[in-house]
Structure 1
Amino acid sequence: MEGGDIIEEEEENHVEQEKEEVHQHGVTNGLKSKELSWKKLDSFNLEAGFINSNQSPGSHQGGSWVSIMKLAFQSIGVVYGDLGTSPLYVLPGIFPDGIKDNDDILGVLSLIFYSLMLITLIKYVFIVLAANDNGDGGTFALYSLICRYAKVSLTPNQQAEDKEVSNYKLEVPNRRLMRASFVKSMIEKNQTVKYLILFITMLGTSMVLGDGILTPCISVLSAVGGMREATSSLTDNTIMWISVAILIVLFQIQRFGTDKIGYSFAPVLTFWFFFIGIIGLYNFAKHDPGVIKAVNPIYIVHYFSRNKKNAWISLGGVILCLTGSEALFADLGHFSLRSIQISSCTIVFPSIVFAYFGQASYLRKHNQDASNAFYSSIPKPLYWPMFVVAVLSAIIASQSLISASFSIIQQSLALGCFPRVKVVHTSSQYKGQVYVPEINTLLMLACVGVTLGFKNTLQIGNAYGIAVAFVFTITSTFLMLVMIMIWKTNMYLIILYALTIGLLELLFLSSVLYKFVDGGYLPLLFALTLVTIMYIWNYGYRKKYLYEMDNKVSAGKLVEITSDPSIHRFPGLALFYTELVQGISPIFTHYVANVPALHSVLVFVSIKSLPISTVPPEDRFMFRRVEPHELSIFRCVVRYGYKDGRTDQWEFFEEMLVSELKGFIQKDLLMSRLPAERRLGLANEPDDDNDQVVARRNIEEMVQREVGIVDGVLKSGDIVYLMGENEVMASKGSSLLKKLAINYAYNWLRRCVRQADEVFMIPRKRLLKVGMTYEV
């Protein structure tokens, strides 16, 4: 057993003994062990040790089958648009110069079939979705799982009490494997590895955002381009401007939320999957049923032996059949694991496979139509109905990555890796459904710019392939870490995964990088910009936090300041906001030095993000008291997950905080008198009962008096919010690069984004900001 486990077990045993003793004397009926354990270790001052808690792989949002089926239907309209519309442009991307050998169609079809089977179905639907974080998916969900299992986070705000949050726990197999301990220990001890994991997380997030830009462009351009089949006079410019108009409308409707969009779009995409499946079966039966031979992977070998380098280059087109697979995981928070598995296996996967087999069957008889395989293979009577459905489906296709972009921005924002932006929760029923106005506007402008710049799908396809391949590879890297450290998966299965799915994805990545100069640079340019922004913000955030830790006010100094007779205490409650979790922010001494007056009740409030999706309401607030009792000074950590909304109206937040504070005061005073009361209970003198009654009465009087003060403050409305307005500057002697990053880049980002009081919706008339400069 590891050292952290031994310490944890000893603490739990101690807590159980205390709890049993208390129960025997009938004093603390119903108190939880977590309300006792903090008496032994105050993690508001000390760094927490290793927290060995775990979550089950595959935990997901529950619900009745009715709810699951509703979500499954909605998911068709949001998650699968990109994956479902890929038949519009995949085969033209694989054969840009036409078909040179008829058997190449069988080789390509076999590649498409096994790529969909291995990556979309087996990897994403049945493996990656199981690596969710309490029902949430995406790169940051995998990162949060790793952070909870190993001390990977670069911000030192871990606390032992975090393990008591119900959603924090991970359930793993009982057997302990040496390789899991070795990998975990290597990550925890190596600072470079921690930075590398954070960088890979940011890169994966940036690539998904890149997908969110490229998906609408290629989907809409491909669909609108089908008009040439009926009207050959249309030019590239006309198609481009029609596409731009459609894209602008698409982004304008995002504000209505995933719930409404899903119900609106789902019927259209259901028709789409029905049509492409039926037409695919029709073409398969009419033209060449012999393409069923493509299920034999030997045709892949023959394809590569005939075409060699050109076959490898064509993988950049094959990967386009997988675009949107990453949205299955990134959009999981909007729906549920079971709903996505049901819709994938029953409707989406079969329809797409039928569509590709039908197109391949048609091309075996009509090689000359490779550049427009989808529309050419549609029976003439169905052309216009199919064109209308295709355009609508292409518009909807963009929704999967747009929704995914909102989700990952919310996650990265909560974990301190993205500048503060507004997150709007669009559904009271499903917490994961969010809308980010600033990101929506930036995505719209970027999509319009890419469409105007490239005008056709060929170069966008090259760019798209690189973004998709990077996301696949990064997801597999994190997934194998989860398999090794958390799931304790059999090593042979991990090796099998690496040699099949992992190797295939690396092969795709090598192919798309070959087309770097032909548009492939675009997603890398997007990613470089976004990673730079994210890293600068995270770097500045960490430097500021570390400065506060190094200069925090000790408990003794705090008592000395507040006990000073020159400091006037007047009626009221002050909520002093600080990011620091352990200790008191140095802003407090700066405030007292300039304003020698304090409210009668003072609460230091720290807003903390846990690496979990949601924090249950009962675990939201954690209080500690600053001794002695007479000071009426408390510390409070308000804990959120990365899916939790933080824009509660200040009245509601105020009410919740004061209510929790009163409950804490009652339990704290009760616990502080337990040792004396326990001694009284052990005596056998006749006066024992009277002594216990007197002791209880004294405690009740103290509780009523202190709770009465808080109640009076709440009724009178004498509550003031204090918040630091700190400017961060690089210290003298810092390198030029650090000065540029902190003094200019970070501070510029802070001025451009929403301020903390806006995020928490604090009323301006009750807010007092305290300015201070940090030299980091």
Structure 2
Amino acid sequence: MKQTTKALDKISAAGLLISIGIVFGDIGTSPLYTYNAILEKYPVDKTLAFGAVSAIFWTLIFQTTIKYIIITLRADNDGEGGIFSLYALIKKYSKYLVIPAILGASFLLADSIITPPISVTSAIEGLKMIYPDIPVIPIVLAILVFLFLIQRAGTSLIGKIFGPIMLVWFTMIGILGISSIWQNPAIFKALNPVYAYNMIAHYPRGFYLLGGVFLCTTGAEALYSDMGHCGRNNIRISWFYIQICLVLCYLGQAQYLMQHIGESGNTLNPFFGLVHKWFLLPAIIIATMATIIASQALLSGTFTLITEAIRLNLWPKMRIVYPNNMRGQMYIPGMNWLLLVACCTAVVGFRTSDNMTAAFGLSVTITMLMTTFLITAYLYIKRVNRILVFLMFVVYLCIEGSFLFANLQKFAHGGWVTLMLGLIYAFIMYVWYRVTHIKTSANNFVDTASVLPQLKQLSNDDSVPFFAGNLVYLTASNGSGQIENKIAYSIFDHQPKRASLYWFVHVEVQDEPFTTAYEYTIVAPQDIIYVKLKLGFRVAPKIQVYLQKIISEMADRKEIEVAPKYAFSEISKKTGDAKFVIIQNFLSNQNDLSVGDTLVLNVYFLVSHFSLSPEQEFSIDDSDVILEKYPLLLSAPKEIALTRLN
């Protein structure tokens, strides 16, 4: 744990560069579209120009710097960040904390289908200032396909490639802002919060402009999710340079608007309006590369989020690939291709960045609000000053509640898409959470000692056909003293299985990346052996390979005797054959369940068809697997009165 914390807080030039390349892409490219979302078709005046940049500045201060950089990054779970890591730290204190965790994660996932399209489209649309007839959609689709194809390389490689480019991007937008501010340094007065209040209170529909203002901070939640990729202090130090560049760029855009008083907002492009014509094409190229990173920031956070959901039994099992040796970096092929299809569909459906801004931000507002509930609970549990915690909660409830209310106007303009997807994600997570608890409560254990005499008798009963030399069951039991009753049912009731040795194997995932260790208990010599495999989070759980090695080592030490009557290969002569029995649940027709539980369980078993099977998860060859069905009986059937007629 100490090593994890030390690594998390370590500062290095490479770590800073990777942080810039991975973490800040989303929030860093917000100047491309934030002002466009605020302006819409409204006429530009000083109240709008000054009020918008003031609101943006204080949103960055309160939402990003104070809430996430200073407060939330303190809540790491063995080096990992994100809403599920935060939930894992506090879940034992209240079962109801799962509600904000599920909602927050679900709506963050939903918003991930808009972030890559809006970022890339807003940059490519700048080409229309040079080539008015250029087809934007095919270019955007090509870039998105490229982005999703390179995910397999891992975020470390991506960060090293894009880190320098992103550094150029932030420096460029800072310089563009300064070049505009230079014409009228008095624009710095706009940072006074009074101007934000004047816009909200006095500009027509000023309060609802907060829906556009909010886009300046939408990448903050992904910033927290990416903590495990880059380290807490690397993110914190990088942010202060990035924040300065962002504020300078937004001030420069405000000054640009002051030069276009009275014009309609939808005729202006405040970002590319800062760029001189001779530099327009290079700026568009740099912006396009930066938007690729904007998408990467959310994608890497999404992979982290799904991985944590799987560990918490809130999501179906999916194949996870670790592209490199760095902790916290992973790639999930299934989610990658699902997001690719969804993002391309969003591009084709919305077609322009202006249409996307009308739908963007609503879902992630809910995510930030849920994070506020969880971080408040975390600080309360950590016994931080209760008055300060309460004040923080009230302040952010007001701020984010206002943003949520302002963003609700986006519902009819496409926001319903992300809300619908968020609810679907939330329902799947709830189903997995609910059914996991149902199965746990229904998973009865029996003492190993109670079945030992009968097991010995079966092992030596020549009248029962021989089933396997080594018969292996994966068990949820954390110790050798108990096994699941369904395992006993499988051995004795479901065609008695006579074997020389019965192995009960429990897999325990470790925080260290490359741990491959085991411990075992010989419950009964030459009859029952319990094995606990301790595998690092980066180690593929190749149970069959590991168990074969364990059998071989125990045979060498004369702890077990494996002497197959017939064997051809040297390894078979030494270890004998092995059969793995995988027990799968099905919903028994004898259950008398409520409508709600019936729906939840049927959805679970339907979706589980798309989840990894146990033999795939644990890398067991199909030829050595025996699949068995075990009824999930949750409620005894009602007593039925039968009348005998004869």
TM-score if structure 2 supplies the norm length?
0.88
Give deviations 1:558-617, integer Å, cap 9, x for gaps. 2232132575498954431133547312332233234544444433123356xxx82577
- Give 1:408 deviation, angstroms: 0.8
Aligned twin of 1:200? 100
Aligned twin of 1:563? 456
1:462 aligns with 2:358: yes
Give deviations 1:159-217, integer Å, cap 9, x for gaps. xxxxxxxxxxxxxxxxxxxxxxxxx4xx3xxxxxx1x3223222222122123211111
Instruction: Name the Cα RMSD after superposition.
Output: 3.0
- Give 1:472 deviation, angstroms: 1.0
439-448 vs 649-658, greater mean Cα deviation: 649-658
Aligned twin of 1:419? 316
1:482 aligns with 2:374: no
| Equivalent residue in structure 1 for 2:559, among 684, 692, 706 | 706
Aligned twin of 2:503? 603
- Give 1:494 deviation, angstroms: 0.9
Q: Which amino acid aligns with 1:560?
A: P
| Equivalent residue in structure 1 for 2:224, among 326, 329, 332 | 329
User: Could you tell me how far apart the structure 1 residues matched to 2:532 and 2:486 are?
Assistant: 17
1:389 aligns with 2:286: yes
- Give 1:357 deviation, angstroms: 0.9
Aligned twin of 1:164? none
Within 5 A, what are the aligned runs for 1:485-634?
A: 485=381, 487-549=382-444, 552-564=445-457, 567-568=460-461, 572-581=469-478, 583-593=482-492, 594-607=494-507, 614=511, 621=518, 623=520, 626=523, 629-630=524-525, 632-634=527-529
User: Could you tell me how far apart the structure 1 residues matched to 2:404 and 2:594 are?
Assistant: 36
Contact 1:729 1:739 survives alignment (8 Å): no
1:732 aligns with 2:591: yes
Cα distance change on mapping 1:60 and 1:457 into 2, 3 Å:
farther
SS in 2 for 1:372: coil
Give deviations 1:635-669, integer Å, cap 9, x for gaps. 3444678xx2352444663377669x96xx9xxxx
1:227 aligns with 2:127: yes
Contact 2:211 2:407 survives alignment (8 Å): yes
| Equivalent residue in structure 2 for 1:653, among 546, 555, 572 | 546
Give deviations 1:137-158, integer Å, cap 9, x for gaps. 11110111113xx3xxxxxxxx
Aligned twin of 2:348? 452
- Give 1:543 deviation, angstroms: 2.5
| Equivalent residue in structure 2 for 1:214, among 102, 111, 114 | 114
User: Could you tell me how far apart the structure 1 residues matched to 2:595 and 2:296 are?
Assistant: 43
User: Could you tell me how far apart the structure 1 residues matched to 2:164 and 2:19 are?
Assistant: 11
User: Could you tell me how far apart the structure 1 residues matched to 2:631 and 2:13 are?
Assistant: 54
436-445 vs 730-739, greater mean Cα deviation: 730-739
- Which segments of structure 1 move beyond 6 Å, counting only runs of 4 or more? 616-620, 707-710, 712-715
Cα distance change on mapping 1:351 and 1:658 into 2, 3 Å:
farther
Aligned twin of 1:85? 29
Contact 1:567 1:597 survives alignment (8 Å): no
519-528 vs 731-740, greater mean Cα deviation: 731-740
587-596 vs 460-469, greater mean Cα deviation: 587-596
1:126 aligns with 2:70: yes
| Equivalent residue in structure 2 for 1:285, among 160, 179, 182 | 182
| Equivalent residue in structure 1 for 2:166, among 269, 272, 276 | 269
Aligned twin of 1:434? 330
Within 5 A, what are the aligned runs for 1:96-245?
A: 96-147=40-91, 150=92, 184=93, 187=94, 194=95, 196-234=96-134, 238-245=135-142
Aligned twin of 1:11? none
Aligned twin of 1:361? 255
SS in 2 for 1:514: helix
Give deviations 1:381-436, integer Å, cap 9, x for gaps. 211110111112112211011111111111111221111111000112x0211111
Percent identical pairs in the alignment equals: 28
Contact 2:544 2:620 survives alignment (8 Å): no
1:317 aligns with 2:212: yes
User: Could you tell me how far apart the structure 2 residues matched to 1:566 and 1:319 are?
Assistant: 68
User: Could you tell me how far apart the structure 2 residues matched to 1:121 and 1:655 are?
Assistant: 53
| Equivalent residue in structure 1 for 2:148, among 251, 259, 262 | 251
- Give 1:88 deviation, angstroms: 0.4
Q: Give the total of aligned pairs.
A: 617
- Give 1:709 deviation, angstroms: 6.9
User: Could you tell me how far apart the structure 1 residues matched to 2:79 and 2:316 are?
Assistant: 25
Contact 1:724 1:772 survives alignment (8 Å): no
Aligned twin of 1:156? none
Aligned twin of 1:352? 246
| Equivalent residue in structure 1 for 2:237, among 333, 339, 342 | 342
User: Could you tell me how far apart the structure 1 residues matched to 2:533 and 2:629 are?
Assistant: 23
Cα distance change on mapping 1:653 and 1:139 into 2, 3 Å:
farther
SS in 2 for 1:134: coil
- Give 1:772 deviation, angstroms: 2.5
1:747 aligns with 2:605: yes
- Give 1:740 deviation, angstroms: 3.5
- Give 1:725 deviation, angstroms: 3.3
Contact 2:309 2:315 survives alignment (8 Å): yes
User: Could you tell me how far apart the structure 1 residues matched to 2:138 and 2:457 are?
Assistant: 71
1:771 aligns with 2:629: yes
Cα distance change on mapping 1:74 and 1:705 into 2, 3 Å:
same
Q: Which amino acid aligns with 1:69?
A: A
Cα distance change on mapping 1:554 and 1:651 into 2, 3 Å:
closer
Give deviations 1:445-476, integer Å, cap 9, x for gaps. 11111111111223422332112211111111
Cα distance change on mapping 1:534 and 1:719 into 2, 3 Å:
farther
Aligned twin of 2:580? 722
1:405 aligns with 2:302: yes
Aligned twin of 2:642? none
User: Could you tell me how far apart the structure 2 residues matched to 1:312 and 1:638 are?
Assistant: 57
Contact 1:257 1:434 survives alignment (8 Å): yes
